[in-house]
Structure 1
Amino acid sequence: MRFDGVLFFPVTAFAADGSVDVARTAEHVASRLPYGPGGVFPACGTGEFHALSAAEAGEVVGAAVGAVGGSVPVVAGAGGPLGHAIECAKRAEDAGADALLVLPPYLVAGPMSGTVAYVEALLQASSLPVIVYHRGSAKLDEAAAARLASDSRVLGFKDGVGDLGVAQQLVRTVAATGRDDFAFFNGLPTAELTQQAYRAIGVPLYSSAAFAMAPRVAKAFYEAYASGDDARRLEILDAFYLPLVRLRDEVPGFAVSLVKAGVRLGCQGVDGFEVGGVRPPLIDPDERQLAELRRILAIGDELVGAA
């Protein structure tokens, strides 16, 4: 499985009664496809996986699969308590997902052999291949990376730790196994901020939560990054992403909450539509924060044109 382009992590729409709005979730995914994502990752971090039941996660994945129609890979989240993770994996397979993003186990941190066993349990639970999220209670060392990479159904690693030295070691460890089909990508919040450094160590892909709310500006940034147009990349970074990161850092969880608010507001010629607020323990931005988000999105309009 190959990824070519920005990795799109859609939000999960909630109806007025708090239930998952499957139709609106599918609409959200479909509305971003014209901007060329390299893959769609429903029911993951930006999609509030932490707040979804296994049944709801399956509904979200099914909505994404239907909207995508096979045009790009769909990689579904699966993680947390092992039983929940297994149920999510089975439902994702039934919904037609192409692979799983294995999110960290819940609460406990076992030894490295236990982390590997957790991933292997999900491999046994369905026929889907997996990408392993290296973060939290699922941090990998070189031996674990080598063991997992020896399984052809392990397609890649997503780094959410942010230690470039460790990430470099994992890249070199997998290279030593002879795998040339392995995908590494940067999964830090607002990954555009750090992606130039990740590319330098052999991690060319990144997840983009901003793509969910501002697809034109995210696409423009990716094109500048991919083509080596550093002047354009830095222009967008300085004017759009750095103010967004400053706002994001005001409140824990705003890496998700701001994106969902941005989808509601709309920008870059893309109409906003109601996807509901975030579920606890996350909170929605207040009026001052929404005003600042509107200002940042307006800067995006100016950068890439609203038409």
Structure 2
Amino acid sequence: MDADPPADTVERLRDGMAQDVLSFPLTSFHADGSLDLDGFRTYLAGQLVTNPGALFPACGTGEFSALDEDEYGQVVAAAVEVAAGRVPVIAGTGYGYAQALRFAHIAEDAGSRRTPRPAALPQQGPQDGLVEQLRRIAEGTRLPLVAYQRDHVTYDAETVRRIAAIPGAIGLKDGHSDLDRLQRSTLAAPDGFLFFNGAPTAELQARAYATVGIPAYSSAVHAFAPEIANAFFQALSAGDDSRVDKLLADFYVPFVELRDRRPGYAVSLVKAAARLRGRTVGPVRPPLTDPTPVDLADLEALLTTGLNLIGATR
């Protein structure tokens, strides 16, 4: 199966980004921690009903680092199967370039016709080395590539220009929220190069990112409450500042405060909220842990508040 040309992928992603948030689905596990593909397919079908701009399986929210290669291939294949061409499917890759390339090849074999992107790359290195790492990944796969900066991986503006010149590199996802650096990067990149707001609970920074030309963002909230995520996106797109502020103050800020109580809650809280809504996602895998009873009760109350804000129910 040939991959779509990068230009086609860029166009589909741009259209999707204008339509709605980018969905980062959870990976479903059984109670014993084994992969639950049937549950994952059921969960994905529910996510796709809400028409996300694109689907990013096996990424950070999907516990990429907890999947072995075989499981990764099964998850990507299931996502491609369920999506059935309705939205772009972007599979996560990561680690050093050799292992990242291995995951990209697995994504190709699994039928992904869209974009592999590096998940958090743990290796530190100079800008030249980071560019070379991405170049080797891009040269080794027929799938187009979206780079990702977060934690201690940061690209300066000149590096972003060089990344954009790599054949097959089509965009950059940012998790740093350094608007000065991002503005320099968007100005250095050529027209058509895509930028994504990938900050944790990206809705808090969505307005700020838009001011430097990056309106597209990923939404962890979409993984458990797409109604809330879509309502926020629509209010933001319409310039309804009062509704945006209300959702931020009464739901998103309290969610971030709850998320910050314990390491790993950026994923385990999202998964717990999905379970509260009856989604077939199961537990997290170690080293992540499920929320404490107190935090789970607070999460349940906050979820009810958020749904009430938009006139929805559990």
For normalisation by structure 1, the TM-score amounts to 0.93
Residues 46-102 of structure 1: CA deviation (Å, up to 9, x unaligned): 001111112211111111111111001000000013332112101111222211121
What does residue 86 of structure 2 align with?
Answer: 71
User: Secondary structure of 2:28's match?
Assistant: coil
Residues 246-305 of structure 1: CA deviation (Å, up to 9, x unaligned): 100101111111101111011xxxxx1332211122111011111111101101221122
Residues 218-252 of structure 1: CA deviation (Å, up to 9, x unaligned): 00000001111111111111111111011001011
User: Secondary structure of 1:189's match?
Assistant: coil
Unaligned runs of 5+ in 2: 1-9
- After the TM superposition, which parts of structure 1 deviate over 3 Å for at least 4 consecutive aligned residues? none
- Matches of 1:216 and 1:70, distance apart in 2: 23
Q: 1:119 aligns with which of 124, 134, 141?
A: 134
- Matches of 1:306 and 1:166, distance apart in 2: 39
Question: 1:198 Cα shift?
Answer: 0.5
CA contact (8 A) 1:81 1:105 kept: yes
Residues 19-61 of structure 1: CA deviation (Å, up to 9, x unaligned): 2111211211110112120000000010011111122111111
| Structure 2 residue identity aligned to 1:186 | N
CA contact (8 A) 2:158 2:185 kept: no
User: Secondary structure of 1:131's match?
Assistant: strand
Residues 150-188 of structure 1: CA deviation (Å, up to 9, x unaligned): 1352111111112111111111111xx3x2x22111111
- Matches of 1:55 and 1:197, distance apart in 2: 39
Find out whether 1:150 has 2:165 as its counterpart: yes
Unaligned runs of 5+ in 1: 267-271
- Matches of 2:201 and 2:110, distance apart in 1: 29
CA contact (8 A) 2:23 2:219 kept: yes
Aligned length: 297
User: Secondary structure of 1:72's match?
Assistant: coil
Alignment of structure 1 residues 3-152 onto 2, 5 Å: 3-4=16-17, 5-97=20-112, 98-106=114-122, 108-152=123-167
- Matches of 1:32 and 1:243, distance apart in 2: 24
| Structure 2 residue identity aligned to 1:90 | H
- Matches of 2:150 and 2:293, distance apart in 1: 33
CA contact (8 A) 1:164 1:198 kept: yes
User: Secondary structure of 1:195's match?
Assistant: helix
Query: CA distance change for structure 1 residues 137 and 124 in 2, over 3 Å: closer, same or farther?
Result: farther
Find out whether 1:240 has 2:251 as its counterpart: yes
CA contact (8 A) 1:129 1:153 kept: yes
- Matches of 1:152 and 1:228, distance apart in 2: 37
Find out whether 1:167 has 2:182 as its counterpart: yes
- Matches of 2:97 and 2:40, distance apart in 1: 26
- Matches of 2:120 and 2:161, distance apart in 1: 18
What does residue 287 of structure 1 align with?
Answer: 293
User: Secondary structure of 1:245's match?
Assistant: helix
| Structure 2 residue identity aligned to 1:280 | P
- Matches of 2:296 and 2:166, distance apart in 1: 45
CA contact (8 A) 1:193 1:237 kept: yes
CA contact (8 A) 1:49 1:77 kept: yes
| Structure 2 residue identity aligned to 1:303 | L
Query: Which structure would you say has the larger RCO, counting Cα contacts within 8 Å and 6 or more residues apart?
Result: 2
User: Secondary structure of 2:95's match?
Assistant: coil
Find out whether 1:196 has 2:207 as its counterpart: yes
Q: 2:303 aligns with which of 293, 297, 300?
A: 297
For normalisation by structure 2, the TM-score amounts to 0.91
* Identity over aligned pairs, percent: 44
| Structure 1 residue identity aligned to 2:117 | L
Find out whether 1:187 has 2:198 as its counterpart: yes
CA contact (8 A) 2:138 2:166 kept: no
User: Secondary structure of 2:49's match?
Assistant: helix
Question: 1:105 Cα shift?
Answer: 2.5
Moved more, 43-52 or 152-161: 152-161
CA contact (8 A) 1:23 1:63 kept: no
Find out whether 1:259 has 2:270 as its counterpart: yes
CA contact (8 A) 1:104 1:137 kept: no
| Structure 1 residue identity aligned to 2:89 | V
